[in-house]
Amino acid sequence: MTIDGIFSTSNAFSNLSKLTTKKMAKMERFCKEHGLVFENPDDYCDPIIDFQDDKRLPLKLVKKLAELNYHTAKPIQAVAIPIILEKRDFVGKAETGSGKTLAFVIPALTFMLNEDEIETKSAGCYPKVMIISPTRELAIQTNEVIEQIGLFKSICVYGGASRMTQYSELRSKKPPIIVGTPGRINDFLETGSIHMSKCNYLVLDEADRMFDMGFYPQIKKIIDLCPGIRERQTLLFSATWVEKVQELADPLLNPNRSLVSIGPLYGLKACIDIKQHLFHCREHDKKKLLEEIFREFDGFKILVFTATKLRAQSVCDDFNDLNITKCDYIHGDVAQERRERLIQDFNRGRSMVIFATDVASRGLDIKEIHVVVNYDFPIDVETYVHRIGRCGRNGAKGLSFTFITDRFLENQYQHKKLLKVVSSSGNIIPDNLQL
Ligand SMILES: Nc1ncnc2c1ncn2[C@@H]1O[C@H](COP(=O)(O)OP(=O)(O)OP(=O)(O)O)[C@@H](O)[C@H]1O
């Protein structure tokens, strides 16, 4: 569409009336350069480039961002922040490790700083902002980002940790921001420890996962307690997004919602900084292959995904017996305290090899993971994209190795999808895996 064409299609919600021709051209160039796709080009905005030069962001926030070394906006932040600041609902799809967290945290803090006063005198806990994550570790991580910026109180509520401690924190701090996992949030809603009537900023991080059958009813319960669709802002983010999920999401979103993606709106795309390797092998070859990887990448951080909890534990034990490198494992049945300690150790480089189930596949931003291994192929290619996305984050280079057995190849649909994802980011498909 030409610039003139875009102007002629502007609608009541459009930002276009505010954009000069020069700014429109700048936006078109920006989209081209970063592979940004707007479902509706009427949503074009004036992108944020440098945080400190942008008058839309409060000085207090910009200073904090600079202290934390955040100076230039990542492409998804550049467009998500201005659109969200226009009070629009937003769906943002951008590759793993591309900075989606700050894309929803910065506008939340901006709104709160622009408010006259944050009410803390009410009897109960009435958050203004709620961020829902599918896993405990991701919720903790997002809460840490907010705490690091440090402008407002936030509390993280999640299962596996003391309900009493979280409850007393909610009572005493009455935080304006709550980050949490669906189950524990619902627990606190049911007991009246959290009230949603003032929550007009709701984020579903890893939104496609949130619409899985298991999570959907819990999410729906939370949303039903929020102010109505026109009063609240609902923001959805993920690295993977399909049309079917958008159909589930639409009833929860204002009709003027904006959908922006880096890369195709609904297609699957892995981060291009990850070099992906596929190995066609037999089940009993896997240990030998992994041993080779451990020897080759000795001293690097490696994350190995398995299909089940038992397997994470047993393969980890087998490798500890081999004494090549010290390994740990994490899965849903590991005590929460230990899970948190392990992630911390992995982050700090005290642990270098972790076996994990998909409890670690989404959102975790662990420093310097160099290699991801799919010892077992995950349930679908979306999960594959998230798993390998634990490396190659924020511009770093990463490597992934995926073991593929004949059993996976029986599923032609997933096989085809995988080959498309791998080849579209310039990686080579071995002959024995070609369709
Ligand atoms: N503007 C910025 N400048 C510098 N670093 C940034 C900026 N924004 C984010 N980062 C860093 O990029 C890394 C990845 O960000 P983040 O975890 O938000 O990615 P993500 O897109 O949510 O990934 P995933 O899809 O895996 O959840 C983090 O370490 C974060 O600190």
pLDDT digits (tens, 9 = 90+) for 322-381: 999 999 999 999 999 999 999 999 999 999 999 999 999 999 999 999 999 999 999 999
Are 286 and 240 part of one and the same domain? no
Q: How far apart are CA 62 and CA 64, in angstroms?
A: 5
Are 379 and 288 part of one and the same domain? yes
Are 100 and 122 part of one and the same domain? yes
Are 256 and 299 part of one and the same domain? no
Tell me, in angstroms, the distance from the centre of ligand 1 to residue 368's CA: 13
The pLDDT confidence band at residue 13, using thresholds 50, 70 and 90, is very low
Structural contact between residues 328 and 315, judged by C-beta atoms closer than 8 angstroms: no
Domain end residue (candidates: 200, 232, 262): 262
The pLDDT confidence band at residue 123, using thresholds 50, 70 and 90, is confident
Q: With respect to residue 218, please indicate whether it lies within any of the assigned structural domains.
A: yes
Q: With respect to residue 401, please indicate whether it lies within any of the assigned structural domains.
A: yes
Tell me, in angstroms, the distance from the centre of ligand 1 to residue 338's CA: 25
Q: How far apart are CA 89 and CA 86, in angstroms?
A: 9
Q: Is 355 exposed, middle or buried (0-12, 13-18, 19+ CB in 10 A)?
A: buried
User: In this predicted model, what pLDDT tens digit does every residue of 194-235 receive, in sequence order?
Assistant: 999 999 999 999 999 999 878 999 999 999 999 999 999 999
The protein residue with its alpha carbon nearest to ligand 1, atom 1, reads 73
Q: With respect to residue 16, please indicate whether it lies within any of the assigned structural domains.
A: no
User: In this predicted model, what pLDDT tens digit does every residue of 96-109 receive, in sequence order?
Assistant: 999 999 999 999 99
Find tokens 């961002």 and name the residue. 65
- Structure tokens that stand for 204 in this block: 């579903």
Give, for ligand 1, the residue of 93, 142, 391, 394 to mutate: max count of ligand atoms closer than 8 Å to Cβ. Answer: 394
The protein residue with its alpha carbon nearest to ligand 1, atom 14, reads 97
Are 52 and 198 part of one and the same domain? yes
- How many angstroms separate the most distant Cα atoms in the chain? 69
Using a 6 Å CB cutoff, which residues line ligand 1? 70, 72-74, 77, 94, 96-102, 239, 363, 365, 389, 393-394
Q: Report the candidate in 370, 397, 361 with the shortest Cα–Cα distance to residue 274.
A: 397
Backbone angles phi, psi at 157, to 5 degrees: -115, 125
Averaged confidence pLDDT in the chain: 93
Domain end residue (candidates: 262, 292, 320): 262
Percent of the chain past pLDDT 90, that is, above it, reads 89
pLDDT, greater one: 3 or 64: 64
**In ligand 1, which atom is closest to the CA atom of 70?**
3
Helix (H) or strand (E) holding 275: strand 274-280
Domain that holds residue 92: 22-262
Inter-CA distances, 417 with 161, 189, 243, 270, Å: 38, 40, 15, 12
Tell me, in angstroms, the distance from the centre of ligand 1 to residue 427's CA: 24
Are 47 and 109 part of one and the same domain? yes
Q: Report the candidate in 211, 210, 208, 214 with the shortest Cα–Cα distance to residue 239.
A: 208
Q: Is 183 exposed, middle or buried (0-12, 13-18, 19+ CB in 10 A)?
A: middle
DSSP state, residue 128: S
CATH number of the domain within which 216 lies? 3.40.50.300
Give, for ligand 1, the residue of 138, 272, 365, 387 to mutate: max count of ligand atoms closer than 8 Å to Cβ. Answer: 365
Tell me, in angstroms, the distance from the centre of ligand 1 to residue 102's CA: 7
Count of the separate structural domains present in the chain: 2
Single pTM value for the model: 0.93
Q: With respect to residue 418, please indicate whether it lies within any of the assigned structural domains.
A: yes
Q: With respect to residue 14, please indicate whether it lies within any of the assigned structural domains.
A: no
User: In this predicted model, what pLDDT tens digit does every residue of 247-296 receive, in sequence order?
Assistant: 999 999 999 999 999 989 998 999 999 999 999 999 999 999 999 999 99
**In ligand 1, which atom is closest to the CA atom of 365?**
17
Tell me, in angstroms, the distance from the centre of ligand 1 to residue 363's CA: 9
- Structure tokens that stand for 291 in this block: 């041993």
Inter-CA distances, 379 with 253, 360, 374, 410, 411, Å: 28, 14, 11, 13, 11
Is the ipTM value over 0.95, yes or no? yes
Q: With respect to residue 125, please indicate whether it lies within any of the assigned structural domains.
A: yes
Spatial neighbors of 203 by CB under 8 A, at least 6 apart, are 104, 108, 129, 130, 131, 132, 235, 236, 237
Tell me, in angstroms, the distance from the centre of ligand 1 to residue 393's CA: 7
pLDDT at 435: 82
pLDDT at 275: 98
Q: Which amino acid is at 299?
A: G
Are 43 and 179 part of one and the same domain? yes
- Burial code (b: 16+ CB inside 10 Å, e: under 16) for 254-281 equals bebbbbbbbbebbebbbbebbbbbbbbe
Are 94 and 206 part of one and the same domain? yes
Q: How far apart are CA 328 and CA 317, in angstroms?
A: 8
Asked if the model's pLDDT at residue 12 lies above 50, the reply is no
**In ligand 1, which atom is closest to the CA atom of 389?**
26
**In ligand 1, which atom is closest to the CA atom of 76?**
21
Percent of the chain past pLDDT 70, that is, above it, reads 94
Are 305 and 423 part of one and the same domain? yes
Are 288 and 216 part of one and the same domain? no
Asked if the model's pLDDT at residue 94 lies above 50, the reply is yes
Give residue 215's Cα distance to chain centre. 16
Q: With respect to residue 383, please indicate whether it lies within any of the assigned structural domains.
A: yes
Tell me, in angstroms, the distance from the centre of ligand 1 to residue 163's CA: 30
**In ligand 1, which atom is closest to the CA atom of 74?**
1
Structural contact between residues 145 and 101, judged by C-beta atoms closer than 8 angstroms: yes
Are 401 and 340 part of one and the same domain? yes
Asked if the model's pLDDT at residue 383 lies above 80, the reply is yes
Q: How far apart are CA 85 and CA 72, in angstroms?
A: 18
Q: How far apart are CA 324 and CA 4, in angstroms?
A: 63
Give, for ligand 1, the residue of 93, 95, 102 to mutate: max count of ligand atoms closer than 8 Å to Cβ. Answer: 102
Are 112 and 221 part of one and the same domain? yes
Domain end residue (candidates: 230, 262, 294): 262
Tell me, in angstroms, the distance from the centre of ligand 1 to residue 33's CA: 19
Q: How far apart are CA 89 and CA 127, in angstroms?
A: 19
Q: Report the candidate in 362, 383, 361, 373 with the shortest Cα–Cα distance to residue 304.
A: 373
Structural contact between residues 182 and 214, judged by C-beta atoms closer than 8 angstroms: no
Tell me, in angstroms, the distance from the centre of ligand 1 to residue 394's CA: 6
The pLDDT confidence band at residue 11, using thresholds 50, 70 and 90, is very low
Q: With respect to residue 288, please indicate whether it lies within any of the assigned structural domains.
A: yes
